[in-house]
Amino acid sequence: MMDLKSLFSRRQEAIIGMDISSWGIKVVGLSGSMQQPALEFLASSRVPSGHIVDGNVVKINEVADELRSVLRNNRIKAQRVALALPSSAVMTKKIMVDTDLSPKDLEAQVEEEARQYIPFPLEEVSLDFCKVGANPQRPEMTDVMIAAARRDRVQNLQELVELAGLEASVVEVQSYALRLATKRLADIHLPGQESAVVLLLKVGAGRTLMQVSVGGAIVYERDQSVGGDQLTQRIAAHYSLSNEVAEAKKVSGALPKDFESSVLAPYVSTTVQVLERGMQFIYNSTPYTKVNQIFLTGGGAMAPGLAAAISTALQSPCILINPFEGMNLAPQVRNNPRLQDAPLFIGACGLALRRFGL
């Protein structure tokens, strides 16, 4: 029944994190321990628009060729990878079971529960589950988290990495991988504050994930339809450029003097308004009325002035985070120019943390 490939905590040695998204490919390798991780390598490659859509690899041979190039050009030898499906592609549900159930009976109960809430035949679904711990209200019961994804979505990622000569050891839920990275950073910035409410804003190419966590547990998340692609499109429209040229100029910073006032400022204003509306949904759906810390990350998060504007609008401290903060840097990565784009790698970093058995 269970073939979602170690969706939950199982120790994985010599595993690398690989974030496959509409942006492209991002790879991170770590060593050491969770208490003192070390960054061994990071690599990335942009892929053309339409090659990957919502985490689904459409042009699989072309993306596999690019992945092989990334591995070869960066001399990455690892064979086992951790991947992630978008949260929208995975259904999760927490159930209660008797604590003394045998493994066989537990699996049978999970399958029965899954039949009730998964709107597809189980033959078309990949399932996994893990014990979370004793139920707070009923100590004689154990909470169990079930996760399910369409089998073809899992196989799509597996086929991609196999074409590149790799093995998909872990297929994760994207939001869970981000939670691992966020929890490590929260321990650095908010030491001893387990009840602090942390908002992660991951600004991707086309969407922004708003994830609220307390003590490392996700309490709410939602997607907002705003991201770095909108800034690229504004640049293209304002200066009569193709999207490809506009993206290159955005990344390099080679833009006219009126860019900040004519293009960047309206983009930041619109983005903040969308996030404000999303924040109201969160406050209306949770018992929380204030966020203690906002972590801003993702490729679209590096727009100048965005963190300050978000902090002012949401009335909470907001910082652009580096997922490698507090890590030792291996000699071969200390001068890697990709470190300047560290927020882009938070998903791959969270996946790479799975090697520590989290």
DSSP 6-28: S-S----TTEEEEEE-SSEEEEE
Residue with token string 């966590």: 213
Residue 124 is assigned to a structural domain of this protein: yes
With 0-12 / 13-18 / 19 or more C-beta atoms within 10 angstroms meaning exposed / middle / buried, residue 174 is buried
Q: With respect to residue 109, please indicate whether it lies within any of the assigned structural domains.
A: yes
135 belongs to a structural domain: yes
pLDDT score, position 174: 87
Report yes or no on 118 lying in a domain. Answer: yes
Q: H/E element holding 317?
A: none
According to the model, what pLDDT value does residue 13 have?
A: 58
Number of domains in the chain: 1
- 310 lies in some domain: no
Instruction: Tell me the per-residue pLDDT of 42-69, one tens digit each, with 9 for 90 and over.
Output: 999 999 888 998 888 999 999 999 999 9
Asked if residue 94 is part of any domain, the answer here is yes
pLDDT attached to residue 3: 44
Whether 108 is covered by a domain: the verdict is yes
CATH number at residue 132: 3.30.1490.300
Predicted local confidence at residue 137, as pLDDT: 81
Question: 151-163 vs 60-73: helix axis angle to the nearest 10?
Answer: 50
Please tell me the predicted confidence (pLDDT) of residue 127: 82
The per-residue pLDDT for 239 is 93
How high is the pLDDT of residue 128?
Answer: 81
Which runs of consecutive H residues, i.e. helices, occur in the chain? Answer: 60-73, 103-117, 151-163, 174-189, 228-239, 243-252, 259, 265-285, 306-314, 346-352
Nearest partner of 345 among 55, 87, 26, judged by Cα? 26
pTM value is 0.87
User: Do 74 and 41 touch, CB atoms closer than 8 A?
Assistant: yes
Write out the residue range of the structural domain in which residue 94 sits: 89-151
Question: At 205, is the secondary structure helix, strand, or coil?
Answer: coil
**pLDDT value at position 259?**
93
Distance separating alpha carbons of residues 247 and 245, to the nearest angstrom = 5
Rounded CA separation 266/214 (Å): 33
Per-residue pLDDT of the chain (358 residues; tens, 9 = 90+): 334 444 444 444 579 999 998 889 999 999 999 899 999 999 999 998 889 988 889 999 999 999 999 999 999 988 899 999 888 888 888 888 888 888 888 888 888 888 888 888 888 888 888 777 778 788 888 888 888 888 899 999 999 999 999 999 888 888 888 989 999 999 999 998 989 999 999 998 888 999 999 888 888 888 898 999 999 999 999 999 999 899 889 988 889 999 999 999 999 999 999 999 999 999 998 899 999 999 999 988 989 999 999 999 999 999 999 999 999 999 999 999 999 999 999 999 999 998 887 6
- Asked whether residue 105 is assigned to any structural domain, the reply reads yes
